[in-house]
Amino acid sequence: MKHISQKSIALALSLCMFLSMFLWIGQVPAEAGQKAKNVIILIPDGMSVAGTTLARWYQGGTPLAMDEMACGLVRTYSADAPIADSAPAGTAFATGHKSHTGYVGVLPDAANMLGLAPIAKGDEKKPVATILEAAKLAGKATGLVATSEIMHATPAAFSSHFPSRKNYDDLSEQQVYNRIDVVLGAGSKFLSPEGRKDKTDLISIIKNLGYDYVTTPEAMKNSKSDKIWGMFSPTSLSYDMDRNPAEQPSLAEMTAKAIEVLSKDKDGFFLMVEGSKIDWAAHANDPIGVISDILAFDKAVKTALDFAKKNRDTVVIAVTDHGNGGISIGDRATTKTYDEEPLSAFIAPLKKAKLTGEGLESKFNANRSNIKEVMATYFGITDLTEEEIKTIKEAKAGSMNYAVGPIISKRAHIGWTTGGHTGEDVVLYVYAPGSVERPTGVIENTDVARYMEKVLGVSLDEVTKKLFVDAKAAFEVKGAKVEKVDDGNGNFSLVVTKGSTKVELPFNTNIAIVDGKKVEMSGLTVDNGVKTYVPSEAVSLIK
Question: If you write DSSP's letter for every residue of 77-95 in order, what string do you get?
Answer: --SS-SS--HHHHHHHHHH
Interhelix angle 287-311/343-351, rounded to 10 degrees, is 90
Is 152 annotated to bind a ligand? Reply is yes
What is the distance between the alpha carbons of residues 389 and 149, in angstroms, rounded to a whole number? Answer: 32
Interhelix angle 400-412/343-351, rounded to 10 degrees, is 150
Q: How many other CB atoms are there within 10 angstroms of residue 537's CB atom?
A: 16
Is 91 annotated to bind a ligand? Reply is no
What is the identity of the amino acid at 426? V
Backbone angles phi, psi at 492, to 5 degrees: -100, 150
DSSP summary character for residue 439 = P
Question: If you write DSSP's letter for every residue of 440-470 in order, what string do you get?
Answer: -EEEEHHHHHHHHHHHHT--HHHHHHHH-EE
Is 45 annotated to bind a ligand? Reply is yes
Is 100 annotated to bind a ligand? Reply is no
Is 161 annotated to bind a ligand? Reply is no
Is 3 annotated to bind a ligand? Reply is no
Cβ burial, residue 156 (10 Å; 0-12/13-18/19+): buried
Pick the closest to residue 178 from 529, 526, 536, 538 (CA basis): 526
With H, G, I as helix, E, B as strand and everything else as coil, classify residue 166.
coil
Q: Are 254 and 143 in contact (CB under 8 A)?
A: no
Cβ burial, residue 420 (10 Å; 0-12/13-18/19+): middle
Q: Residue 86 catalytic?
A: yes
DSSP summary character for residue 489 = S
Q: Indicate which residue of 48, 86, 223, 233 is catalytic.
A: 86
DSSP summary character for residue 37 = S
Bridge partner list, 519: 512
Q: Are 171 and 217 in contact (CB under 8 A)?
A: no
* Residues whose CB falls within 8 Å of the CB of residue 274, separated by 6 or more in sequence, listed in order: 42, 43, 44, 45, 145, 146, 147, 148, 154, 155
Bridge partner list, 213: 229
* Beta-sheet pairing, 414-415 with 481-486: unpaired
DSSP summary character for residue 438 = P
Pick the closest to residue 355 from 411, 398, 401, 394 (CA basis): 401
Pick the closest to residue 392 from 415, 411, 373 (CA basis): 373
What is the distance between the alpha carbons of residues 468 and 531, in angstroms, rounded to a whole number? Answer: 11
Strands of 258-329, DSSP E: 269-275, 314-319, 323-324, 328-329
With H, G, I as helix, E, B as strand and everything else as coil, classify residue 435.
coil
Is 267 annotated to bind a ligand? Reply is no
What is the distance between the alpha carbons of residues 155 and 170, in angstroms, rounded to a whole number? Answer: 14
Annotated binding site for Mg(2+): which residue ranges?
45, 152, 154, 274
Question: Which residues are annotated as catalytic?
Answer: 86
Cite the annotated binding site for Zn(2+) by residue number. 45, 279, 283, 321-322, 421
